[in-house]
């Protein structure tokens, strides 16, 4: 069984600074020459981009339902065999959600570092720390870190509130200038933060002044592996749109395509690059097409190549933002309407209010596939769904899956390793219903 130092970074709630602290730890130990592997709990595309920049390696998702217990175990075992340090960033507060970050930490016995935003707080800090540490006996607890501390005197007050038996790991200051800018449900993309590496270095410098400068104790992980998937996509060439407009891609999804025998070729619609002519299938992932709608509307080479791909009845898989790119028009928040590709009938509209955020499960002819959804747009289309997903825990009605010619489109971001057979069917143009 592989041993590796590991820490689970969670918090009392969202917006406490979990990603900043995780990135700081990753950059600090990477600068020491250590091999750091970082995971993100649950569905997320934005935080992993920052964390990858901090540690220099792809960031994979861990989630007991979306990814599955066995797959989580195998991912951690592989990291433990290769790395000097494993970091896992939680989601929301430590006990929020079903399953929660606490469930994941308990399942693999990874000690929790609780990050608490201490702005506007004094003695209550100790009560929150005590509650997080003692709420569940099965959750291993490493210690607590104060974030957004106003002054040395404030830091002293916070440290004095920690009950006996709890480890106070130190603090990060408001003056450190390390906070990462946010948009919608998460952070902005790395390319949009001009001084990102400087921020990460400042964060690493700050964490080096705490007790977290040293490696945490080693954790024993099960020596698990997953079976190789069947090579259901042998020789299939898949074009993947990948740029600032289309960037919501799970590394595990592309790993699966490659493991099943597919060849991946990336191209950029934003740069007006055409779909590679030899591509047998096309993947349009989610992202931020609304931020680049005017550019996408005017890029004729990409438009013509996707039109040609569809006319040849080659499969297209479009998720969320990728689906918006295929409809007739996209209206952005300032009211401007931009012509999209018109391959799918209908129009999309951005809004300030969150439309949907949920874990999803869709039952296909090949079995269940897991995933999630989050979007700030609505879709008005005459298309009728061929399948509908359901909320992963409540069973409430979820996202529609549409089929129009060779195009399969949905708001749902599927986690493809949850069902390799259904994934292969998507990229071979077969129906999931």
Residues classed as catalytic: 320
Give the DSSP H or E segment for 148: strand 141-149
Sign of CA dihedral 49, 205, 118, 116: positive
Q: Is 125 helix (H, G, I), strand (E, B) or coil?
A: helix
Give the Cα separation of 170 and 50 in Å (integer). Answer: 23
Residue with tokens 């898949």: 238
| 3-state secondary structure at position 430 | coil
In 3D space, the residue among 378, 381, 382, 367 whose CA is nearest the CA of residue 423 turns out to be 367
Q: How far is CA 392 from CA 337, 372, 415, in A?
A: 34, 9, 13
Cα 386 → chain centroid: 27
CB 245 within 8 A of CB 269: yes
Q: Which residue from 327, 279, 315 is spatially nearest to 408, judged by alpha carbons?
A: 315
Q: Are 350 and 377 in contact (CB under 8 A)?
A: yes
DSSP string, 332-352: -TTS-EEE---SSSSEEEE-S
In sequence order, what DSSP letters do the residues of 24-78 get, joined into one string?
HHHHHHHHTT--EEEEEESS-SHHHHHHHHHHSS--EEE-IIIIIHHHHHHHHHH
SS3 232: coil
What's the burial of 335, exposed, middle or buried (CB within 10 Å: 0-12/13-18/19+)?
exposed
Taking the C-alpha atoms of residue 105 and residue 184, their distance in angstroms, rounded to an integer, is 27
Distance of alpha carbon 393 from alpha carbon 241, whole angstroms:
31
Structure tokens at 347: 């129009």
């Amino acid at each position: 069984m592989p041993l590796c130092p590991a820490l689970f970074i969670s918090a009392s709630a969202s917006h406490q600074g979990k990603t900043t602290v995780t990135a700081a730890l990753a950059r600090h130990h990477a600068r020491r020459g250590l091999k750091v592997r970082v995971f993100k709990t649950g569905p997320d595309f934005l935080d992993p981009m920052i964390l990858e920049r901090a540690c220099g390696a792809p960031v994979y998702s861990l989630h007991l339902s979306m990814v599955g217990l066995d797959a989580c175990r195998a991912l951690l075992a592989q990291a433990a065999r290769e790395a000097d340090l494993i970091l896992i960033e939680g989601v929301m507060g430590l006990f929020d959600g079903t399953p929660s970050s606490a469930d994941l930490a308990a399942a693999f016995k990874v000690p929790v570092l609780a990050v608490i935003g201490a702005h506007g707080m004094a003695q209550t800090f100790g009560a929150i720390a005590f509650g997080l540490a003692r709420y569940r006996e099965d959750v291993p607890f490493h210690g607590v870190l104060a974030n957004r501390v106003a002054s040395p005197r404030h830091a002293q007050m916070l440290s004095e509130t920690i009950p006996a038996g709890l480890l106070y790991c130190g603090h990060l200051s408001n003056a450190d200038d390390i906070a990462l800018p946010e948009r919608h449900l998460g952070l902005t993309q790395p390319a949009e933060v001009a001084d990102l590496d400087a921020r990460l270095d400042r964060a690493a410098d700050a964490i080096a002044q705490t007790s977290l400068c040293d490696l945490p104790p080693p954790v024993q992980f099960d020596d698990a592996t997953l079976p190789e998937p069947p090579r259901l996509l042998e020789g299939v060439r898949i074009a993947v749109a990948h740029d600032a407009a289309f960037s919501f891609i799970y590394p595990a999804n592309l790993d699966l395509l490659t493991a099943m025998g597919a060849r991946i070729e990336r191209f950029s619609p934003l740069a007006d690059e055409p779909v590679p002519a030899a591509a047998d299938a096309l993947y349009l992932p989610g992202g931020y097409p609304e931020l680049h709608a005017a550019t996408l509307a005017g890029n004729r080479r990409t438009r013509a190549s996707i039109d040609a791909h569809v006319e040849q009845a080659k499969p297209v898989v479009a998720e969320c933002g990728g689906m918006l790119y295929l409809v007739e028009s996209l209206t952005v928040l300032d009211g401007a309407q931009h012509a999209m590709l018109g391959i799918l009938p209908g129009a999309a509209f951005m809004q300030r209010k969150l439309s949907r955020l949920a874990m999803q499960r869709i039952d296909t002819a090949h079995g269940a596939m897991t995933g999630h959804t989050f979007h700030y747009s609505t879709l008005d289309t005459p298309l009728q769904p061929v399948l509908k997903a359901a909320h992963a825990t409540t069973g409430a009605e979820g996202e529609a899956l549409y089929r129009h010619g060779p195009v399969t489109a949905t708001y749902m971001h599927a986690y493809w390793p949850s069902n390799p057979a259904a994934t292969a069917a998507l990229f071979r143009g077969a129906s999931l219903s």
